[in-house]
Amino acid sequence: MTAMKTIQLYGIPNCDTVKKARDWLTAQGQDYTFHDYKKQGVPLDLLPGWLKAVGRDTLINRKGPTWRKLDAALQASVVDDASAIAVMQANSSVIKRPVVVWSDGAITVGFSPELFAQRLNQA
C-alpha cells in the first residue's frame, strides 16, 4: 500500500495570500506541508518543473514590490528559464505565492477558494 502524497505549499509565512491559502486548507481539514522560502530557501531542484508547468509569466510576480526594486538591467535579463531561476534563487520574494504542488503532482500558483476546492475534488 502506498502512502498518499501530501500537498506541498511553498511561500513565506507573512504573505497574506499564503496565510489565506493555509487557513483555507486547515478549515477543510486538509493536511499539507509548508515550505518557508525565508527559512528553508528556494527549492532550486523544483524550479525547472514549476516553470515548465506554469511558465515564467505566471511564476514571476512582476507587479510586486520585490520585482519593482530590482534594477532595470536585472529585470531585462530574465529572458529564459535559466535567467528566471537565477533571479528567483537570489530574490525569493519575486516568486508568486503560494506555489502549490497537489497530491496528484499538479502545480498551481496563487490562491482562490474555487481553485483550491476544484483541486481537492480532483485529487
pLDDT attached to residue 2: 43
- Indicate the pairing of strand 99-101 with strand 107-109: antiparallel
pLDDT attached to residue 1: 41
Q: Are 89 and 44 in contact (CB under 8 A)?
A: yes
Identify the CATH assignment for 7-122 out of 3.40.50.150, 1.10.1370.20, 3.40.30.10, 3.40.50.2000.
3.40.30.10
Instruction: Please determine, for residue 4, whether its predicted confidence score (pLDDT) is greater than 90.
Output: no
Q: Are 61 and 24 in contact (CB under 8 A)?
A: no
CA distance 4 to 104: 9
Which string of DSSP letters, residue by residue, matches 69-103? HS-HHHHHT--SHHHHHHHHHH-GGGB-S-EEE-T
Q: Which of the residues 7, 15, 95, 107 is marked catalytic?
A: 15
Average pLDDT over residues 17-24: 98
Active site residue 21: no
pLDDT attached to residue 109: 97
CA distance 54 to 59: 7
Residues sharing a CB contact under 8 Å with residue 121, sequence separation 6 or more, in sequence order: none
Q: Are 12 and 93 in contact (CB under 8 A)?
A: yes
Q: What is the pTM of this model?
A: 0.91
Q: Provide the residue ranges of all domains of the chain, joining segments of one domain with +.
A: 7-122
Instruction: Please determine, for residue 122, whether its predicted confidence score (pLDDT) is greater than 80.
Output: no
Per-residue pLDDT of 53-66, as tens digits, reads 999 999 999 999 99
